[in-house]
Chains A and B, each alone.
Chain A
Amino acid sequence: MAKSPSLEISAKGSSLRKQVNELWQYRGLGISFAKRDFQVRYAQTFLGPLWALLQPLLSLGVLYLVFQKALNANTEGVPFISYTLSGLIFWGFFNFNLSQGSASLIQARGMLQKIYFPRLLLVLSKSLVALVDLLFVLLIFLFVAFADAHFSFATLAGFLGALILSLLASQGLALWFAALSVRFRDLQQLIPFISQMLFFLSPIAYSPDLWTESIPLKYQDLLYLNPMMGILEMWRAPLFELENLTLSDLPWWGIIWCFSLFISGWIYFQKSERKMADLL
């Protein structure tokens, strides 16, 4: 009676279907990782989870001083606070995924040399934490910007679209950086800089017109190389009724770019996963 083996280990990699199956099997661990991040995060702090509300409010304050008071930035006719908060919802999510996801492998190197689990989980589980943060900022937004926002089916679609795009783009970048930083530790130094640069290049506290007006029309699609461009456009258009996006008006280049970041990141990560323990 020959039982069939439940696991085969060999030099060959596993198929996409097997990878996804395995991720599903290990979903409990992904949740455990996210839970750990939450529990550890506010351990021994005085204010505890209140920080999740305080942090976005504090950065909003600083942005107000700089972009509104000092620079008098254009916000497409929407009140500055509402406009900026709507951007911070997704920037916070994007940035958390990018910076925490990129660092996750190096941080867990002790574990990587001792125990097997799909390494993807370390990066992917950061999204659960980021998602909870996003909900906090969304809550603030609903309180503060209720009067300025327009709620419709299109707004909901825009929100979900932007959420999916920012998930794909930030996870895609994080997968690339996490896998690369195992080989090139220099990236650890570079990532905070990239995140800061991306913040200033993204139309979070100012209108994207700043960029579109200063770049010739035929190169404008290049702006979508910054994933936040497409994400914010999709979300704000219905939210503030800035423009009526039809299917053909969607930032398709941005969408394609976000998808390709994720797919390529996944493939590269899986390819290097097998060598990680030898390099760490």
Chain B
Amino acid sequence: MRKGWIWFLALALGLAWAQGQQPIKIGALFILSGNFAGYGKSGSQGAQLAVEEINARGGILGRPLQLIVVDDQGNPEVGVREARRLILQEKVNFLFGVDSSSVSLAVAPLTDEYKIPLVVTHAATPALTEQCRPYVFRTSNNARMDAWAAAALAATLPVKRWANIGPDYEFGRVSWQDFITRLKQLRPDVEVVSEQWPRFGSTDYASFITALMRARPEGVFSTLWAGDMVIFARQAKAFGFFNQVRYFVNPVGAALEVLAPLGKETPEGLLVSTRYWFLYPNTERNRSFVEAYRKRYNEYPSYNAQEAYAGIHMLALAIQKARSTQAEAVRRAFEADGGLVYEAPEGRKRMRPEDHQVFEGLVWGYTKHSPNYPFAILDRMRITPATDTVYPTQCKR
């Protein structure tokens, strides 16, 4: 064992000497404190796993990757301050991650100012990629893609009377707008019977639940997420809400950050999605990723973990292709040949060259309990192909 270490050290030193190269530094911003710390934790774990994989193969361009993770607290001002520290003090080559939409929008202008590319793996506001910035890339799907996929699915359901309950901020509002606009294009006969907007981070949904039930919708669209969805599901179940409403559709409801805390309390038959579901697809690629992640962290990979993992690999591919860490070269590598393609655990990710948004297939399913898992899993899975989520962009390259 001891000898192994010495050998390893000697090898590492030898490599470092032979290369004489500095590591490629990636500065990651995640929420590591407060209510959403769970998302940041899984994101940084996924990114770290990818970095370790790449370094075990000898790094990129002969240089190892180095990941520096900092806590942005989900606060745009802290995000900018920390991003500047990463760029100016830590001399990172890339910025990475970002959970909160407002932090991503605040940090984005720095990419132009310092010519440091930013790869976003979680923040989902469509506005980020619609700004058409040269050095901002998003390797995860955004809220509009989720809403369009939800609309494509909803159009196939025998539901005419729709209602909404979503968090009262940009994400909730824009998602509902995108969903209902798209649904009305696909199914002009649907009608909206109620819209409820609880404050983001609410702990009491009783009045919203009763208002929804009074409106007698057949289907309810919701973008409640994280702790909000957990609390809402518990309270709505007590009201018998899920018995009355036939279809409850939530594009972010299958996150492990929701299903794990709910455990066996999750109502069955909710039509939910997530950006990545660890049991889909049933491929060698995905199974080995899940296994490696479980071995390393002793938990199942959540969507944020897989998106960050895939984001690091996509960035590494782009650097490899560019044969440089320089912003302009990396941009061209992301855009070239109809957009960079990466086979992620969740399937193929392709970057649209115009707006630097990745498009991918999305997985939906109905919640169901299984004796093999302590939380609900997805049953009767339905896959929305990437083509159903491609919305037009105003960006040009």
User: Is chain B found bound to chain A in the same assembly?
Assistant: no
Residues on B facing A (Cβ under 8 Å) = none
- Chain A positions near chain B (C-beta within 8 angstroms): none
